[in-house]
Structure 1
Amino acid sequence: MNRKLLLLAVLSTIAVAACKPEQPPAEAAMPAATAEPVAPVAVESAPAAAPADVPFDTKGFAGVFTGTLPCADCPGIDTRVALNRDGTYQIEETYQGKPERFSGDGTWTAEENGKRVRLDPNSKSQEDRLFAVASPEQIDQLDTAGNAIETTMPHSLKRSGAVTQ
């Protein structure tokens, strides 16, 4: 029985010791008489955040972009894309020389920290559209894989106004 009590006492002591938080060692203070004065050090200001470090401002980028995009069987497609501040968009396309006019809507998101804009249509029969952000005033249409379209024909939409949403 004494062995059991001894074992219980040892285990209790170990458990209590393990639960006790360690106290950090006190820092040694230098006496004031022996401390040498320290010369002031020039502090450099931190460099401005690099553009990649600054998050893309989707609400600030929102706006209306218009232009004429290429068309396979007509002179061009007059296109108007309204990127709303709430993350929705509307698109209107009028085929030059034809009676066709299409409109759509959905949501838009900025990708690659604002280097690309994706239009995700509400209609499941349409594919997403991608645009490269060339500048705050211009977006350029990309192919479905997100690559630049290699042609001499213009693929740009320019900012033509602000949105109210």
Structure 2
Amino acid sequence: MGVALGLFLSCQNTPNSTQQEADSLRITDEHTSQNSLDWAGIYQDTVPCADCPGIFTTVKLYEDGTYAYIAEYIDRNTTVQDSGRFMWHNNGSIVHLKGNNVDEKYKVGENMLLPVDEEGNVIQSELIDQMTLHKVN
């Protein structure tokens, strides 16, 4: 009986080769904007405005998770400023700047911030290129 028990236990401890192959083929892609891109820096551009020539917008993202936001309305005496901590959404691909004066979400791309809607989808518009902020530093 000792030999039979030993054979039974040794069979129980033998790894399933099919499972080993499946485990070795399993690839987890954990690359996100947050952990794969050099996202910290200054992004800016002049974005469209319905009733002025444009809004010169600057977003500064800092590695410590804080931001500074400035939107200067061209040909107006209006500037919106805010700063605070930003949040990462959608598994590290969207930054959410929410403060007293601003509530903006952007998809972080290679050297750019693309505006997104409430669901985190890049805004579909013919003006998307003009709405995108580009990294300057």
Report the TM-score when normalising by structure 1.
Answer: 0.58
Q: Is the 8 A contact 2:115 2:122 kept in 1?
A: yes
Is 1:155 aligned to 2:131, yes or no? yes
Q: Give me the whole-angstrom Cα distance separating, in 1, the residues matched to 2:103 and 2:111.
A: 22
Is 1:101 aligned to 2:71, yes or no? no
Is 1:131 aligned to 2:109, yes or no? no
Q: Secondary structure at the match of 1:57?
A: helix
Correspondence 1:44-55 to 2 at 5 A = 50-51=28-29, 53-54=30-31
Return closer, same or farther for 1:146/1:59 CA change in 2, 3 Å cut-off. closer
Q: How many residues align?
A: 119
Q: CA RMSD in A?
A: 3.1
Q: Give me the whole-angstrom Cα distance separating, in 2, the residues matched to 1:107 and 1:93.
A: 18
Q: Is the 8 A contact 1:74 1:97 kept in 2?
A: yes
More strand by share: 2
Residue 131 (structure 1) shift: 0.7
Deviations 1:55-110 (A, max 9, x none): 63299421111111221111110000001111111011111111212211121122
Give unmatched runs, 5+ long, in structure 2: 8-20
Identity %: 28
Rg larger for:
1
More helix by share: 2
Greater relative contact order (CA < 8 Å, ≥ 6 in sequence): 2
Residue 116 (structure 1) shift: 1.2
Report the AA paired with residue 131 of structure 1.
Y
Q: Give me the whole-angstrom Cα distance separating, in 1, the residues matched to 2:66 and 2:36.
A: 11
